[in-house]
Amino acid sequence: MTIRYKTIKEIKNMISHKEISNKELVQEVYKLINENSHLNAFITLNEDSSLKKAENFDNNPSDSSLAGIPIAQKDLFCTKNLRTTCGSKILDNFIPPYSATVIDNLEKAGCISIGKTNMDEFAMGSSNETSYFGNVHNPWGENLVPGGSSGGSASAIAAGIVPAASGTDTGGSIRQPASLCGITGLKPTYGRVSRWGMIAFASSLDQAGPMARTAEDCALLLNEMCSHDIKDTTSLDENIPNFEDDLNQSLKGKKIGVVKDLDLASLDNNVVEVYENSLKEFVSLGAELVDISLPNLSLSVPTYYVVAPAECSSNLSRFDGVKFGRRSQNPKDLEELYIQTRSEGFGDEVKRRILIGSYVLSAGYYDAYYKKAQQVRRLIKKDFDEAFSDVDVIMTPTTRGAAFEMGSKGSDPIQMYLEDLFTISANLAGLPAMSLPNGNIDNKPIGLQIIGNFLDESSILNFAHMYQTKTNWHMLTPEGVTK
């Protein structure tokens, strides 16, 4: 029996009923990786270690919540003794001596990390076209982007190679590829999941989260990913609920915020139609629609593209050829070592953002750009605070359209940046948000975004799960198979 396109819950049942052994499960995953190598979804595989762990589970059954479940890990989580590149030439030879907290938490729960997924270099990109290791392909169509930066993770799940993967989201990098690949992805509240061991892009925005076929699977993964971590000063010391508990709660009387400031006229008509049909589905489940205002929402993209590059220029200064990673050969002095290492090791998009960030942090422009962006960021957060006094969740489209062709937007960075139009605001406000499949446009999937209040992942998972019990968009596969 194949595990392709199976959910975590279905695979757990197969293992418990001895329909498949843990070793057979892992062997099939690697077979699927080889058969789908054209997707370029993986950078580094972990086959020997994974098979040993699977055999151990067969010989010594575990009652851990995710025992034996194969998972793909985004290649910016440090993994002990396994190459971690962040999709960059500068880290092509980096093998960490420790694992990120997220990796440790998932493996303690029984997950088997089968390999590291391809991604936009240092998580900078919206299409997975900036990786040093080449473009990731979307299994939904030839020459289509999978979205970024967690495109490798999304592609691997959409192709049915793995049931789940880790991702990170700085401005939409879980939700946007989830939308373009027809899967479910969740960005938790900032600080809910430890950032220790994640290679930093923008420290006040980065957040790890689960990617899977269903909201239910995301809840299972989030239960294990979350923990208070003293090694991460931004980690929240808050009660962590069981995210499965409220999945089946009735939506009757729950309020959905519909943003009246949203410029739907700029979207493809099909996107608007799919979005409005989804809202009607929630109404049929008992929810109420409430008009809300987020007057500063349109400022999210320019605010983000000041704050994020500023933080990236600071974080990436550590990659200088001295302590770890690639080092330029035969520099004449220390300054040339820095310049040549970074010039050779970083791609164009990373260099672009470092330059922007250094500029907005410079003495003459700090107040005009970075300080002003932080003030606007506060206004965006205030808008959300006021909106959530009246509603339980807020819904928008996840993306402006379905997956686009590779190379179609690379020559215009501004158009690429606008791909994150609807997702960025949740990162700036530190709020949980997720994307789930809610339709198809020209046989390509599209997603609905649900934004929740601070630390209220349970509500957005509840809305998503109830929607998925009534619809089958999340069950469609690139091969036209409906489970």
Separation between Cα atoms, residue 438 and residue 215, nearest integer Å: 13
The pLDDT value recorded for residue 42 is 98
**What tens digit of pLDDT does each residue of 157-173 get?**
999 999 999 999 999 99
Separation between Cα atoms, residue 175 and residue 148, nearest integer Å: 9
**What tens digit of pLDDT does each residue of 418-443 get?**
788 899 999 999 999 999 999 999 89
Type of residue numbered 5: Y
| pLDDT of 388 higher than 80 | yes
Separation between Cα atoms, residue 66 and residue 48, nearest integer Å: 20
Give the list of residues 6+ apart from residue 291 with CB closer than 8 angstroms, or none: 257, 258, 260
HSE of 372 in the Cβ direction (CA atoms, 13 Å)?
Answer: 11
The pLDDT value recorded for residue 418 is 77
- Are the C-beta atoms of residues 200 and 45 closer than 8 Å to each other? no
Instruction: Output the CA angle 187-190-196, nearest 5 degrees.
Output: 95
The pLDDT value recorded for residue 408 is 84
The pLDDT value recorded for residue 235 is 97
The pLDDT value recorded for residue 325 is 86
When the pLDDT of each residue in the chain is averaged and rounded to a whole number, the result is: 94
Exactly one of 6, 23, 53, 74 is catalytic; name it. Answer: 74
Chain centroid to Cα 40, Å, comes to 18
| pLDDT of 47 higher than 70 | yes
The pLDDT value recorded for residue 54 is 97
Token pair belonging to 160: 């049915």
Q: What are phi and psi of 213, to 5 degrees?
A: -80, -35
**What tens digit of pLDDT does each residue of 98-116 get?**
999 999 999 999 999 999 9
Confidence of residue 416 (pLDDT cuts 50, 70, 90): confident
| pLDDT of 327 higher than 80 | yes
The pLDDT value recorded for residue 479 is 79
Report the pLDDT averaged over residues 198-224: 97
Token pair belonging to 101: 């907290």
Give the list of residues 6+ apart from residue 167 with CB closer than 8 angstroms, or none: 74, 150, 153, 154, 173, 174, 177, 185, 208, 209, 210, 211
Separation between Cα atoms, residue 32 and residue 218, nearest integer Å: 22
| pLDDT of 5 higher than 60 | yes
- Determine whether 156 is exposed, middle or buried from the number of CB atoms within 10 Å of its CB (0-12, 13-18, 19+): buried
Exactly one of 99, 127, 131, 149 is catalytic; name it. Answer: 149
Report the pLDDT averaged over residues 216-242: 97
CA distance from start to end of the chain: 14
| pLDDT of 269 higher than 70 | yes
Q: Which of 88-102, 220-234, 317-331, 371-385 has the lowest mean pLDDT?
A: 317-331
Confidence of residue 415 (pLDDT cuts 50, 70, 90): confident
**Is 173 marked active-site?**
yes
Looking at per-residue pLDDT, the higher value among 325 and 247 belongs to 247
| pLDDT of 483 higher than 60 | no
Closest CA to 74 of 112, 33, 120, 38: 120
**Is 74 marked active-site?**
yes
Give the list of residues 6+ apart from residue 6 with CB closer than 8 angstroms, or none: 14, 160, 163
Coil vs helix vs strand at 320: coil
| pLDDT of 455 higher than 70 | yes
Closest CA to 57 of 99, 29, 21: 21
Domains and CATH numbers, the chain: 8-253+432-475 (3.90.1300.10)
Separation between Cα atoms, residue 393 and residue 254, nearest integer Å: 9
- Are the C-beta atoms of residues 8 and 14 closer than 8 Å to each other? no
Token pair belonging to 94: 């980096």
Exactly one of 113, 155, 173, 425 is catalytic; name it. Answer: 173
The pLDDT value recorded for residue 205 is 96
**Helices marked H in 36-174:** 47-59, 101-108, 151-158
Does the pTM surpass 0.85? The reply is yes
Q: Which of 263-267, 299-303, 351-355, 358-362 has the lowest mean pLDDT?
A: 263-267
What is the dihedral sign for C-alpha 345, 138, 308, 240? negative
Report the pLDDT averaged over residues 331-344: 92
**What angle do the packed helices 22-35 and 47-59 form, to 10 degrees?**
160
Instruction: Output the CA angle 457-165-443, nearest 5 degrees.
Output: 90
Confidence of residue 481 (pLDDT cuts 50, 70, 90): low
Q: What percent of the chain has pLDDT over 70?
A: 99
Separation between Cα atoms, residue 248 and residue 465, nearest integer Å: 7
